[in-house]
Structure formats: C-alpha cells, structure tokens
Structure 1
Amino acid sequence: MMDRAVVPAFGQVLFAVALGYAGVVGAAVLATALVGRPLGFDARETAFFLSVGLGTAFAVGAMSDLPWRRALALSWPADRRIVIRFVAVLLLVLAIEATVAASGLLGSLEDIKAMSSSERSWLGFLNAVLLAPVVEEALFRGLLFTRLRRRFSAWPALAIVTLAFGLLHIENGLLHVVSVLPAGAFLSYAREVSGGIGLPILLHACMNLAIVVAGTFL
C-alpha cells in the first residue's frame, strides 16, 4: 500500500497540472473577449506553464510540510565535475543524434524537420528554453521526486517520476510519451546525483534548445 506521506505529492502534481489547463482556458476566454480572436499555440503554452508554476508554488506553500528550498530541491551541485560530466554526456548524445539525422538513417531531413516541434517565435523560444525547463523540473524533479525519495530508494523514485513526466505529454499521443521517457530518466538521474534541480533545469534547457535549433536550421 502506498505510504500516506506519498499520496499528497501526487495530489499536488495533479493540482498544478489541472491549474495549468484551467489557466489556458481562462487565458483563451480573456483573449477572445478582449481582442476578438483565439490564442495561438505559443501563447497557450505560456499560459499553461505560468499556471502550472503558480500551482506548484501554491502546493508547496499551502500543502507541503517542508520548507520551500527542501520541497523543491532548490540547489546547485557543489562539485563542478558533476555538472561537467552530465553536460558532456548530453553533448555526446546530441552529437550522435545529429550525425544519425544527417546520415538519413531516420528518414529525409524534410521528414525530420516536419516532426520537429521547434518554436520559431520569441514566445515559443521562451517557453522552450526557460518556462518549460524551470516549471517542469520544479514540479517533477523538485516537488514530486523530493517527496518520493523520503519514502523510496533512488530507482523506484526515478522510475515513478520519469513515468509521470512522460504522462504530462499524453496529449501529444502515446508515441510522444514514450519518446520523452529517456530524457525524463536522464534528468531524474541528474537530480539524484546532483541533489537538486539546478542541474536538471540546465540540461532540460539545453535539450529543448537543441530541438529548436535543429528545427530551425535543418
């Protein structure tokens, strides 16, 4: 049976995500009423991430028994070698992916570009390299992972958080959920090794930046 201390964490995550969707609906209604046209995709994403961020902050402030810094694991690794190693691994993986993409083994560059979710507007860029990394890491590798690690060892906590992170992307289809699981596992491992969300935020931002650059210049 799941420990009572763990259950509230999932409730907090669901609350933050639900508030995110409510924020999108509210922003869309407001935009239609004020300017007479619906929000674009990038604006909806911005509303979602800002609302999820507010929900995460409220969950920690009102529903958590831990102080802010501990509840969200707001820290940066003291050992620079940890940062260097993780960044080096990420750069190596990105280089391999770029080489494979350029070789045509995964299809033509046009097909890959069509599948890319790059954001070409300044708002989309902001979502990809700032809002998404900060908000998603605070919610999953911060709030949820921290609570799970109080009850479970590293690997069960890593697996649960990785799956929860993947399910956040379910609206894009099951294939997309599966495709983000390796990245989610990598970020969760970085959270465990580094002891905080500072490094996962950096890595997450670099991943998203690589997608934006690939989609723009392929």
Structure 2
Amino acid sequence: MDAEPQLRPRRWGLGAFLLVEMVFLASSLLLGFLLGGQGSLAISQAVLIVAAPTLLAAGAAILITTVRGNGPRIDLKLRWSRRSAGLGLLFGVVGLLFTLPAALLWVWIVGEDANSAAGAVFGGTRSTWAWAVVVFVVIVFVAPFCEEIVYRGLLWGAVDRRWGRWVALAVTTVVFAIAHLEWTRAPLLLVVALPIGLARLYADNLTASIVAHQVTNLLPGLVLMFGLAGAIPQA
C-alpha cells in the first residue's frame, strides 16, 4: 500500500501577501493611467478596471502557494464543503442584519462620499442588460472569490501560522477595510468584514467566507445591475 504523500514545508508568509498586494496596486494604477485619462469610460473598460486587478492578485496568491507550498486547497483551505457553504450563508445573512443598518447610517452621516469605488466607476453609466449582468457577476461572485483568496486565504494563513486564528481574524478584518483604499468607507468596511471573518474562523474553510462575502455583495450588485440597465435611477 502506497504511503500518503508528505506535505511540503510552506515557504511563504507575510511577504507573499505584500507581493500580492503590490500586484493588485500596480495593476490598478496601470489600468487607471491607461484608461482613466480618456474621459468617460466604456462599460467594458470599467469592468476591466474593477475585475482585472483582483483577478491578477488572486492568481498570484494561488501561484505562490502552488510553487512554494502545497497549493490553495491545503495552504489556503480553499476546498468545497457543504457545511462550510451553509455556515457562510448563515453568517452572511445574519451579518446583513448589522451591515445594512450600518450602511444606511453611514450614508446618512457621510452623504455622497459613502459611495464605493465600484459604484464610483460605474456611477451614471447606462448600458445593456448583458453588460449589467456581467457587472453583477463581477461584483457578487468574482470579486468576493478573489478577495477572499487574498485576505482570508493568503493573509489569514500567514498570520494564523505565527499568532493564531483570533489574531488572524483581527488583522484580516482591519487590513481588508484599509486595503480597499476607500477612506470614507473604512469604518463601514470594518463592520462588513467582521461576519465574513467569523465565517472563516468557525468553519476553518475559505468556502464559508467566500459565500458570506457573496451574500454581503448581493444587494449592491443588484442595485448596480438595475442601475446600469436603467431600471432604477442611479446616482
């Protein structure tokens, strides 16, 4: 009977996360420089600016764990589990009971500056239903999946290995809020990130935080989709 394969030592840590963040920031700045100076953006360009940096960052995280570790399934705990998906759905729905009132309060306090980066990119744009659905998929499914790989996957794994899972929860929650570079929304993003992080903590599986994050993004994604299609007024 063949012996089970030995796990390779993980040769990545916080430096890997910093490298992935550099990939995200560099690609965001490059796309902003190349496309941002052209005046109003076409919907395809706006989708590229929103989706490409986070896809590149997640791809870099997966590559690092594959080359210098045991791959995302083991190192990032990116493996499908019905139980973890159920926990993610539970934390996502319960989290909405806190994040929705917090978001309404924050809009009342801050006003127009409370708009998200994605909302600013797509704000005032009108497009076809096909492109509106593409934006919905990016906001609700693609972005949460990629962001969870980077924050509750790569960063969580690096911090958890050194200081434990509760420190990982605190660090990833704060870094997630700051890394969006939406300074007026940072306190709100802390509230948003907490149930997502708790889902990751209690499930010990990235599937849970991915699902919780997708539930959190569902309402903003719907608002953007209907706004882009002209079905509802868009700020």
Tell me the TM-score range normalised by the shorter chain: 0.7 to 0.9
Identity level (%): 21
Q: 5+ residue gaps in structure 1? A: none
2:32 maps to 1:52: no
What one-letter code is carried by the residue in structure 2 that aligns with 1:202? Answer: V
What one-letter code is carried by the residue in structure 1 that aligns with 2:77? Answer: A
Total equivalences in the alignment: 204
Deviation, 1:205, is: 0.9
Deviation, 1:67, is: 3.5
Q: Which residue of 2 aligns with 1:179?
A: 188
Distance in 1 (CA, whole Å) between partners of 2:100 and 2:155 is 32
Distance in 2 (CA, whole Å) between partners of 1:6 and 1:164 is 22
Distance in 1 (CA, whole Å) between partners of 2:102 and 2:18 is 37
Q: Which residue of 2 aligns with 1:195?
A: 204
2:29 maps to 1:18: no
Call closer, same or farther: CA 1:101–1:9 in 2, change over 3 Å.
closer
What one-letter code is carried by the residue in structure 2 that aligns with 1:209? Answer: L
2:155 maps to 1:144: yes
Please tell me the root mean square deviation across aligned C-alpha atoms, in Å.
3.9
Q: TM-score under structure 1 normalisation?
A: 0.72
Q: Which residue of 1 aligns with 2:48?
A: 43
Residues 48-96 of structure 1, C-alpha deviations (whole Å, 9 max, x = no match)? 112212221232233x333331112112345x3x654553453244356
Deviation, 1:136, is: 0.8
2:168 maps to 1:157: yes
Q: 5+ residue gaps in structure 2? A: 1-8, 126-131, 227-231
Q: TM-score under structure 2 normalisation?
A: 0.68
Distance in 2 (CA, whole Å) between partners of 1:163 and 1:200 is 15
2:12/2:65 contact within 8 Å kept: no
Distance in 2 (CA, whole Å) between partners of 1:203 and 1:48 is 22
What one-letter code is carried by the residue in structure 2 that aligns with 1:71? Answer: D
1:90/1:203 contact within 8 Å kept: yes
